[in-house]
Chain A
Amino acid sequence: MAIVEQVSQYPETSISEPAITINRVSKQFHDDEGGVIEALRSTSIDIKEGEFVVVVGPSGCGKSTLLNMLGGFDSPSSGQIRVDGEPINGPHIQRGMVFQDYALFPWLTVIDNVMFGLRKTHSKAAAREVAMKWLELVGLGEFAQKHPLHLSGGMKQRVAIARTFATDPKVILMDEPFGALDALTRRFLQQQLLKIWSEHRKTVVFITHSVQEAVYLANRVIIMTARPGQVKLDAPINLPHPRKVTSAEFRETETTIFEALDEEMAKTFSLDSADGFSD
Chain B
Amino acid sequence: MPDKSDIPSLPDRIGFLSTSTVGHAGRASKTIAQKGGPYVLALIMVAVVWQVAIVALNPPSAILPSPSKVARTFIEELLSGELPINAWVSLSRVTIAWIISAVVGIPLGVLIARSRVAEKLIDPVIELFRPISPLAWIPLAILWFGIGESGKIFIIFIATFFPIVLNTVDGIKRVDPVLLRAGQTLGCSNGPELFFRVMLPAALPSILVGMRISFGTGWAAIIAAELVAANSGLGYLIADGMEILRSDLVMVGMIAIGIIGVLVDSIFKQLASRIA
Contact = CB atoms under 8 A, between A and B. Distances in A.
25 contacts: A71-B181, A96-B185, A99-B182, A105-B198, A105-B201, A106-B202, A107-B204, A117-B187, A120-B187, A121-B187, A139-B12, A151-B16, A151-B17, A152-B14, A155-B15, A164-B185, A164-B186, A185-B14, A188-B14, A191-B7, A194-B2, A199-B4, A240-B2, A241-B6, A242-B2
B113 to A, nearest CB: 18
Contact of A194 (B7, B187, B275): B7
Given A101-B178, A105-B198, A242-B7, A91 B185 contact: yes
Contacts of B185: 71, 91-93, 95-97, 164, 173
Nearest to A103: B182
Interface in A57-71: 71
B95 interface: no
Interface string A154-198: 110000000110010000010000000000110010011011001
A153 interface: yes
A153 B184 CA distance: 22
Given A103-B178, A154-B14, A93 B202 contact: no
B207 to A, nearest CB: 12
Nearest to B204: A107
Interface of B: 1-4, 6-8, 10, 12, 14-18, 24, 176, 178-179, 181-187, 189, 197-198, 201-202, 204, 275-276
Interface centre among B15, B178, B201 (most CB of A within 10 A): B15
Given A167-B186, A242-B6, A152 B16 contact: yes
B175 to A, nearest CB: 11
Contacts of B6: 241-242
Given A91-B184, A95-B185, A191 B8 contact: yes
B1 A198 contact: yes
B10 A107 contact: no
A173 B4 CA distance: 23
A144 interface: no
Contacts of B8: 191
Contacts of A95: 185
Please list the 10 inter-chain residue pairs (A to B) with the smallest Cβ-Cβ separation, ordered nearest first.
A152-B15, A91-B184, A117-B186, A103-B182, A93-B187, A241-B2, A139-B12, A97-B185, A154-B15, A103-B178
A194 B8 CA distance: 12
A134 to B, nearest CB: 13
Nearest to B180: A103
Given A96-B185, A104-B182, A185-B15, 8 more contacts: A92-B185, A93-B187, A120-B187, A142-B12, A151-B16, A152-B16, A167-B187, A241-B6
A163 B7 contact: no
B179 A103 contact: yes
A185 B184 CA distance: 28
A116 interface: yes
A99 B184 CA distance: 13
Contacts of B186: 93, 96, 116-117, 163-164, 167
A217 B105 CA distance: 51
B178 A107 contact: no
A29 interface: no
Contact of B24 (A93, A119, A150, A188): A150
Interface in A226-275: 240-242
Interface in A72-90: 72-73, 90
B275 to A, nearest CB: 7
B250 to A, nearest CB: 45
B196 to A, nearest CB: 12
Interface string A102-131: 011111100000001101110000000000
Interface centre among B14, B178, B187 (most CB of A within 10 A): B187
Contacts of A191: 7-8, 10
A71 to B, nearest CB: 6
B220 to A, nearest CB: 30
A241 B5 CA distance: 12
A119 B189 CA distance: 13
Contacts of A4: none
A142 B15 CA distance: 15
B18 A150 contact: yes
Contacts of A139: 12
A106 to B, nearest CB: 8
Contacts of A142: 12
A105 B7 contact: no
Given A71-B185, A164-B185, A198-B3, A105 B12 contact: no
A189 B4 CA distance: 14
Interface centre among A91, A119, A192 (most CB of B within 10 A): A91
A150 B17 contact: yes
Contacts of B17: 150-152
B27 to A, nearest CB: 12
